Structure formats: C-alpha cells, structure tokens
Amino acid sequence: MRVIEGQDQFPELNISATGMDVRGIVPDPKLGIRSDNDWLVYNMEAAGNGIAGIIAQAKAGNFSKLVVRDGVLDMNDALYGVFRTFRDINLEIAPSADAKSASGSFSAGFNGTVMNGAVDWVSKDDDPVARIQASITNFDPGAFSPMVGDKSAAASVVGTMAVSMDIGFDTASKKVTDGLFHMDLTGMDVKMPDNSYVPIVTSIAEVKWDPVAGQFTMADTTVTVGTNSAVVGGTFVLGLDPQYGPIVSIAVTGRDISLTSDLGPPEKPFSEMSLNAWSAPLYGATGIDDFQIKKDDGSSIAAKG
C-alpha cells in the first residue's frame, strides 16, 4: 500500500496476517498550516489518483474490483482540535470492461447519520482530463467542517444535505483542473441559543470551483430560513493568512430580501443587498468591510468596519 499526501509519499506499508510492516523514510511530521482549499485539492487529487490506480490495476489483470466492508476511520483534526470517527464504511468500485471508466457506491456512518453516495470516473481517449462525478445524500457537513454543528456557538447550522460534484482531473499532471458542485440544504436547521430549530429551505445552489485561485462562485440561490427569505449569490475565496491561519474572503449580493421582525413580515422586501466580509474560522472571527441593503423607495442601511 502507498500513502501519498500531495507530493509527499509516505513509506511503503505491507499488510499481512502477521501485522503491518513499514519501510522507508517518514516525511517531516511538522506539516505547515494549509488553507481549506489546499486540503480540498489534496483530497480530490488523492481520489483521482486512487481511481486511476484501480483502473490501471484492473487493466493489468490484478483484480476486477475494489471492495471495502465495515471499515472504521478515525480523523484527528489537530488544527481545530476536533476528533472524528467514521464507522460502517462500505465501498465498492469497479472499472468498465474497456478500462476507460469506473463506477461504484459508498456509505459511511458519522455521528448517528449514514451518508450514501455514488461515484463515476469518466474519461475519453482524446482528452487527458477525466471527470470524477459523485453524488452524496444525507451528507453531514459537520463530518468535515468544524464550523457546522459547533456546540459552543450561540447559533449553528445542523442536519444533513444533498451534494453532487463534477471534478476535472488531469491524468497527465495528476492535478485537479476545475469543479462544479450542486448543493441542496433543504432539511437542515439553524439551532438557536434556546435549543429551538429553524428550518432551512433552498433551491439547488450551483457553485463553480477554481482550484488554483481557491475561489468558489455561487450562482443566485433562493434561501429561506424560517420566515426570512432572499435570493443570494457571490464569491468565496479560501486562503491562508500567516497570522490567522485559514481565512475566507466573502463577496455576496442579494435581492428580494424579506426579514421578519416582531411585528411580522415587512410590507415590502429589501430590493438589493451587498456584503464584503472576511472570516478566520480558527479564531471564530468575522469582519464586515462593507454592508449595504436598500429598498426601492431609496431607504437604505449601511455599515462598515
């Protein structure tokens, strides 16, 4: 077995009935802090290299499919101080007869939730960029983001969602090239300080990913939280600050914004909104550089700093 993280290859690991045998030089354990985008890139490239390896092994006649049953995976997020355990991991993936594509299914249990998914690898003879296409139902974002379901937060997003992705993978350079995500948050809730739950309903959000820039661009999406609603879209850039660690740059616009008060819903919604902000999740910090919300009658609310 080979273990690879980014461009770092770990020692060879041989597994037998007598145990595990590790041979080779262990890379420097003092890994630097990476941006959340870098972690996503590494994971997607690992998936791409893994599936490509399965196809190559099948083409060589070494095996016909890969099957994992009832696996357990422990993840220690040293940066955020979160320990996660995935149980009942099941995976089955098999190449096509011509060894140009592969398909499979997987499931994993996390925090009482069973996530299910399907994955396909699609390639063409005249195109070095293959596509990794996957869909996941009952996906718990808290399985990978410490900000979701944070019990120490005054209010947090909890529950599961549906996600599909279409990721480009260059088989020559072994790098991801682009990505397209579709996400449906309907069924999730906002947990309030009094332990009440406010339901979330959304249209399917389309998000384009530029891996090199670390930029995610979300098309206009209808979002309803309880009795509040809006159509929002924008750009999110995941970067790394030498002092604050992983950061997020946020530029969001909105329209048809209806915010309910103690007096009930407004007579007329706000016509437009713009927000430029940043977030440093490691410190739980968020800053607003500029915020404006307006109505058609010319009235507006603005804030900076």
Tell me the residue type at 26: V
Q: What is the mean pLDDT of each run of 10 residues along the chain (305 residues)?
A: 57 74 63 85 92 86 87 85 92 88 95 95 89 96 79 82 97 95 97 93 98 98 96 97 93 95 82 96 90 92 85
Reduced to 3 states (helix: H, G, I; strand: E, B; else coil), residue 29 is: coil
Contact by Cβ (8 Å): 230, 257: yes
- Chain segment 173-220, per-residue pLDDT in tens: 999 999 999 999 999 999 998 989 999 999 999 999 999 999 999 999
Q: Is 256 left (phi over 0), alpha (psi -120 to 50) or beta?
A: left
Q: Tens digits of per-residue pLDDT, 265-287?
A: 788 899 999 999 999 988 888 99
Predicted TM-score (pTM) of the model is 0.86
Residue type, 221: T
> Residue 211: phi, psi to the nearest 5?
-60, -35
Q: Of 40, 13, 11, nearest to 26 (Cα)?
A: 11
Q: Dump strand ranges (E) for 82-126.
A: 82-95, 102-110, 113-124
Q: What is the 3-state secondary structure (H, E, C) of 162-180?
A: EEEEEEEEECCCCEEEEEE
30 vs 36: CA distance, rounded Å: 18
Angstrom distance (rounded) from CA 185 to CA 208: 17
